[in-house]
Structure 1
Amino acid sequence: MNRPTSRRTVLTAALAVAAGAGTAASAGSAAAAPSLAPPRRPSAAASLVDNHSWRSYTDWRSGSGAGTRAVAGRRPGLVIGTPQGRTDYTDPHTGKTAAWEYATWTSPRHRSSVPATEVIASWNADTPAGTWIQIELCGRYSDDTETPWYVMGRWAAGDGDIRRTSVDDQTDGRSSIWTDTFSVDDAASGLRLVSYRLRLSLYRTPGSRLTPTVWRLGAMASDIPDRFTVEPSTPGLARELPVPRYSQNVHAGQYPEYDNGGEAWCSPTSSQMIIEYWGRRPTAEDLAWVKPGLADPQVCHAARFTYDYQYEGCGNWPFNAAYAATYDGMSAVVTRLGSLTDVETLIRAGIPVITSQSFRKEELTGAGYGTSGHLMTVIGFTADGDVIANDPASPSDEAVRRIYQRHEWENIWLRTKRYDANGKVRSGTGGVCYIYWPADPAPSQRRALRSLGLL
């Protein structure tokens, strides 16, 4: 198995995408009618993934709090009650030191149904100006020893108080944190993470009554076997969702302080498409900072507010999900799915999926480029079962809609190993995706999400 550093290269937001990606498939046809076939059970590969979250009033009361308070209501959450204390934080990206009041909450121990080689946390929260949060993970290995507390992210919706950041150089010699992913260093040794706790630290300006509100905290644990190819799934749905189309390449050279500009913005561009599909978008006031006259300024906004100052990119998976959840009434997670059958389950319920993949030019017919890591949005399936994708690596918004061959798509998305253009073995994501949906989903959406362990 490749070192996890190679796995993290797929987060490089399409830096390897060729300039002026190839001509898109015809983008004119209307959405096909939904299939009337009953939903199928998720593929057996889904058993390689354990999703767990804390999000109800009972969940928040079940943890161990120090200065936090659970709040009930339509969307229960966790807030600062009486701060536990005060601490200084020196932002490594600005050099600024400031004092913060803080409170903490530690989850009960969750025993994963999958002894895991990787864990990715995600969260949904509101952090008004003057507040921010930190997310940590401590796990127990299969030999009954424990990891240290690893920082999985220091996050704020804005960037005026701290710079949101991952934390490098975290390891105990047996596992490591690679940007946003906990990874066992040597999976072949048989060592696995069998359980974990998550810890939230909530910060605010001293003496204020401000507080972050965390609505959802969870993680996806997985043990995906090394594979260059996967068994193809059988098509079972013809439907296309009306997802807005945005091109990252329209923004080439814009705001280079955020990962060198739009040519690297596949992740926030994909996120923005889905956010707007659900009827949310930034306000004119939110966009006032964007230079006048730029096309699709909301894509620039998404890039700025998903940017990880340590990773120096907009492709931090949980940061994208957290950004989506800053919009009113939205939930978001990072997970892995087992096949396109699982994606069909979501599309049938009206939920598009953002997938992460890497490939050589010849491995995805019609793409016209190769990439070490790229995010696209699956918006539906043709009558033949091929994938309809909004591919942000397109020359214009109109060219974003593409049709890709099902078996090619499924393979480049689900594999964990691949060969690059020089014949060297590199890593793949093993089915990583972002899923965004309304916090109060329709019954059909609730059933689909529950069937995949997300509710």
Structure 2
Amino acid sequence: MTRASEPSRRTLLAAAVAAAATGTAGPAAAAAATPAGAAGAPASARSSLVDNRAWTSYSDWRSGTANGTRALAGLRPGLAIAALAGTADYTDPHTGKTATWEYATWTSPVHRLTAPATEAVASWNAHTPAGTWLQVELTGTYSDGTDTPWYVMGRWASGDQDIKRTSVDDQKDGKSGIWTDTFAIDDAASGLRLVSYRLRLTLYRTPGSGITPTVWRLGAMGSDIPDRFTVPASTPGLARELTVPRYSQEIHAGQYPEYDNGGEAWCSPTSSQMIIEYWGRKPTAEQLAWTNPDFADPQVCHAARFTYDYQYAGCGNWPFNAAYAATYKDLQGVVTRLGSLTDLETLIAAGIPAITSQSFLKSELTGAGYGTSGHLMTVIGFTADGDVIAGDPAAPSDEAVRRVYPRREWENIWLRTKRYNVSGKVVSGTGGVCYLYFPAHPSARQREALEAVGIR
């Protein structure tokens, strides 16, 4: 969370774009149950706003254009380096170090968006052993028939010993630009939209090493969410609560200030760690050996370090959090937008919690006790009255993380795209952004729920 008096960099960037646009159960038990009233929102309502496409299967990986990469068959198909496309020098802007890397590339087929988009966010799931890293790029075609440049959506590695994972600022062409991790049309009111795109994946390795990154999932979410201060109220349809670990970001205040000034800003990695551990994964003792043994919940410190974006200077890069989750065995992570609390009920009914992004004044969310210009929290269930049960990391202790928030207030602050800040100025909201983490091989019930909210 960022304090209301200190807007996050993402919020400021999003505001610039907006201005231009004038029962308790664990995973197994919950997945087995299908409560009445938990059906997904109509597909037509979502498809007009959000388009998700991901390449995950062996046939998907074979459908693209490979230059030195090969598709891997098996239980979890992927993409790896088979031969070299060439070598390239990379000067890390955060260390000043220049190194030579071998590389290979894969370019997706053209994906035509079912919903022409004003924004797009890429997601990827990969294993990058020491001595390897990857880059994800996007290019697309506008509704006026012209093309975007190749935009870098992220330079990423699961570790930080070879490169510093980073977004890339100052990418623009006069019609669109990249705001940390988000492609955005400069002037949505003009009617210009992104109608199709391709993704390019570049895999890097130390020369002569023979090692390779492995990528299991690559995709993007395109969306065109209309300007709105309020959204229609949904009807409660589920009473269920998932058993999710509780971690406070606030108990880490001042710890490891090199990662966005310490725990007070760690809402995103703290939320990520809660959901990762819900699925039964966590760092090993060896992985945590670098942390101070006097600090409680060192896995939260670990999550902050390994989601940190050295350009954004924070841990809130959405795809970096999803990619971090997928570094744990047989987990997937994606960034998407949902359309209502009914969508979240569909997921909770299948045993899938979510991480949501929202911003609000202190007076707008009863029981929070704070206001924020940008905050991530988990949604772990619903009460019998339909209110939201959240794992809110902006709590003074782990025990205080579980909160119940009024349904109508919570739904509106999450789904709106416009709001008033503490100064009365119109600023942006996130429009239903969430992270979803789920098994590489979901159950039939989980797969049905994910498909109902547009994720395959």
TM-score between both structures, scaled by the size of structure 1: 0.93
Separation in structure 1 between the aligned mates of residue 8 and residue 307 of structure 2, nearest angstrom: 22
What residue is the counterpart of 2:46 in the other structure?
46
Post-superposition Cα deviations, 1:236-267, rounded to whole Å, max 9, x if no partner, equal 00000000000000100000000000000000
Deviations along 1:151-173, whole A, 9 cap, x unmatched? Answer: 00000000000000000000000
The Cα offsets for residues 348-407 of structure 1, whole Å up to 9 and x where unpaired, read as 000000000000000000000000000000000000000000000000000000000000
CA contact (8 A) 1:10 1:373 kept: no
Distance 2:215 2:288 in 1: 25
- Counterpart AA for 1:8: R
SS at match of 1:194: strand
Does the aligned pair in 2 maintain the 1:35–1:239 contact within 8 Å? no
Distance 1:368 1:156 in 2: 37
* Matched residue, 1:20: none
Query: Deviation per CA, 1:398-421, whole angstroms, max 9, x where unpaired?
Result: 000000000000000000000001
Q: Is the 8 A contact 1:243 1:379 kept in 2?
A: yes
| Paired residues of 2:40 and 2:453 also in contact (CA < 8 A) | no
Aligned residue number for residue 36 of structure 1: 35
**Is the counterpart of residue 296 in structure 1 residue 300 in structure 2?**
no
Following superposition of structure 1 onto structure 2, how do residues 192-341 of structure 1 map, counting pairs within 5 Å? 192-341=193-342
SS of the residue corresponding to residue 305 of structure 1 reads: helix
Question: 1:161 and 2:162 equivalent?
Answer: yes
Are 2:438 and 1:406 aligned?
no
Could you say which residue in structure 1 is the equivalent of 2:19? Answer: none
For the 8 Å contact 2:180–2:317, the answer to whether it is kept is yes
Q: How many residues align?
A: 435
What SS does the corresponding residue of 1:362 show, helix, strand or coil? helix
Deviation at 1:30, TM superposition (A): 5.7
Q: Secondary structure at the match of 1:434?
A: strand
TM-superposed deviation, 1:8: 2.5
Give the alignment of 1:133-212 within 5 angstroms: 133-212=134-213
> Is the partner of 1:288 in helix, strand or coil?
coil
SS for the counterpart of 1:287 is coil
Inter-partner Cα distance in structure 1 for 2:442 and 2:206: 35
Inter-CA distance 37–10: structure 2 relative to 1 (3 Å threshold)? farther
Asked if 2 retains the 8 angstrom alpha-carbon contact of 1:10 and 1:357, the reply is no
Cα offsets for 1:310-353 (capped at 9, x unmatched) = 00000000000000000000011000000000000000000000
The alpha-carbon deviation at position 7 of structure 1 amounts to 8.9
Q: What is the identity, as a one-letter code, of the residue corresponding to 1:273?
A: M
Secondary structure of 2:124 counterpart = strand
CA distance, structure 1, for counterparts of residue 70 and residue 391 of structure 2: 41
Equivalent position amino acid for 1:40 in 2: A
Identity %: 77
Alpha-carbon offset, residue 42 of structure 1: 1.7
Residue 40 of structure 2 aligns to which amino acid in structure 1? R
The code of the aligned residue for 1:274 comes to I
Q: Partners of 1:363 and 1:104 in 2: how far apart?
A: 47
Structure 1 runs not aligned, ≥5 long: 13-28
Aligned to 2:75: 74
Partner of 2:4: none
Q: Tell me: CA distance 1:402–1:10, structure 2 relative to 1, closer, same or farther (3 Å).
A: farther
> Closer, same or farther in 2 for the Cα pair 1:87/1:68, shift >3 Å?
same
Q: 1:200 to 1:211 in 2, by over 3 A?
A: same
Report the CA distance between 1:36 and its aligned residue.
2.6
Task: Output the CA distance in 2 between the equivalents of 1:35 and 1:206.
Answer: 52
Offset at residue 209 of structure 1 (A) = 1.0
Alpha-carbon contact 1:11-1:315 (below 8 Å) kept:
no
What are the Cα deviations for residues 62-91 of structure 1, in whole angstroms up to 9, with x where unaligned? 000100010100000000000111110000
Tell me, yes or no, if the aligned pair for 2:108 and 2:199 is still in contact at 8 Å.
yes
Distance, in Å, in 2 between the alignment partners of 1:161 and 1:42 is 44
Q: Which TM-score applies when normalising by structure 2?
A: 0.93
How big is the shift at 1:450?
1.3
Relative to structure 1, the CA distance from residue 35 to residue 381 in structure 2 (aligned partners, 3 Å threshold; closer, same or farther) is farther
Change (3 A) 1:10 1:126: farther
- Which runs of structure 1 show a deviation greater than 3 angstroms over 4 or more consecutive aligned residues? 29-35
TM-aligned CA distance change 1:30 to 1:328, over 3 Å: closer
